[in-house]
Amino acid sequence: MKKIVLASASPRRRELLSQVGVVFEVKPASGEERITSAEPAKVVEELSRQKAMFTAYALEEEENRDLRDVVVIGADTVVSYEGKILGKPADETAAIEMLAMLQGNTHQVYTGVTLLIREKGRWKVHTFHECTDVSFYPVTEEEIKEYVNSKDPMDKAGSYGIQGAWGAYVKGIRGDYNNVVGLPVARLIYETKKLGMNLRG
Ligand SMILES: Cc1cn([C@H]2C[C@H](O)[C@@H](COP(=O)(O)OP(=O)(O)OP(=O)(O)O)O2)c(=O)[nH]c1=O
C-alpha cells in the first residue's frame, strides 16, 4: 500500500485529492523555487518537481521516517495569456491589472504535477502537465474592483478563483475544470494507473 504525501499548502488541492478517495498526509514544500523557462508548460512542470523534491528531502531528514512505498505529489498552477505567465498577484493593483487583461478574452490555465515514487532507495520522477482554456465575459472595472476588494484573488494564479465569486463571469472552459482549481485529479489517477499504481487502494 502506497503512502501518499501531498507537498502542498493549498486547501483546494487537498479537497480535490480527498474528493477522489485518496488518503494522504500533507507536508507543504518549503524552499526557493526557480524558473529557467518562459514556456508555461515547462514552468509548471519544473515548479511542481521542485515542490515535490523539497518535501521529499524534508522527509529524508526526518528521524524514524520509513520512506518505503512513499509517493510525494507536488503541483503548480499558472495562467498564460498572450505569451505572459501570470502567477499570484503581488498586490491588489496587480490583481486588477490581470483581471482587466483577462476579461472578455480566452486564456490558458496550466497545472504541472510531479510524482516522486520511492523505489529501491531512490526517487523515481514522473511529471506531466494539463492545460485548460478558460473564457470570460466582458467585466467592468467596477466589477473587477469589487471582486478584488473581497481578497479572493490574492492567493490564486491569474487573480481569480473559478470556484468562487468570479464564477459569475466565466463564459466557458475547454478541458478539465479541476485543473483550473489546481489539481487535475482524473489525469493524476490515469497517470498512476499507467505506472501500475493504485493511489486509492
Ligand atoms: C486559476 C485558479 C487558480 N487557483 C489556485 C490554485 C493554486 O492553489 C493557486 C496557484 O498557486 P500555486 O503556486 O500553484 O500553489 P499554492 O501556493 O496555492 O500551493 P502549494 O504551492 O503549496 O501547492 O491558484 C484557484 O484556486 N482557482 C482558479 O480558478
Q: Confirm if 74 and 55 have CB atoms less than 8 A apart.
A: yes
Ligand 1 cavity residues, CB under 6 Å: 8-10, 12-13, 28, 51, 75-77, 79, 88, 109, 155-158, 160-163, 180-182
**SS3 of residue 200 by DSSP:** coil
Average pLDDT for residues 145-150, to the nearest whole number? 98
- What domains, with CATH codes, occur in the chain? 3-194 (3.90.950.10)
Q: Confirm if 76 and 166 have CB atoms less than 8 A apart.
A: no
pLDDT for position 118: 96
The span from the CA of 128 to the CA of 176, in Å, is 14
pLDDT digits (tens, 9 = 90+) for 175-200: 999 999 999 999 999 999 999 999 98
Average pLDDT for residues 71-98, to the nearest whole number? 97
User: Given the C-alpha cell 489517477, which residue does it identify?
Assistant: 189
Average pLDDT for residues 56-67, to the nearest whole number? 95
- Please give the mean pLDDT across all residues of the chain: 96
pLDDT digits (tens, 9 = 90+) for 125-134: 999 999 999 9
pLDDT for position 36: 84
Nearest residue to 71 via CA among 7, 117, 23: 117
Average pLDDT for residues 44-54, to the nearest whole number? 97
The 3-class SS string of 17-57 reads HHHCCCCEEECCCCCCCCCCCCCHHHHHHHHHHHHHHHHHH
pLDDT for position 10: 95
ipTM: 0.97
pLDDT at residue 201 tops 80 = no
Mutate-to-test residue for ligand 1 from 49, 156, 170, 180, highest number of ligand atoms within 8 A of CB: 156
Q: How far is CA 28 from the centre of its chain?
A: 13
Average pLDDT for residues 4-32, to the nearest whole number? 96
Average pLDDT for residues 134-149, to the nearest whole number? 98
pLDDT at residue 34 tops 90 = no
pLDDT for position 35: 85
Average pLDDT for residues 83-96, to the nearest whole number? 96
Mutate-to-test residue for ligand 1 from 155, 163, 171, 183, highest number of ligand atoms within 8 A of CB: 155
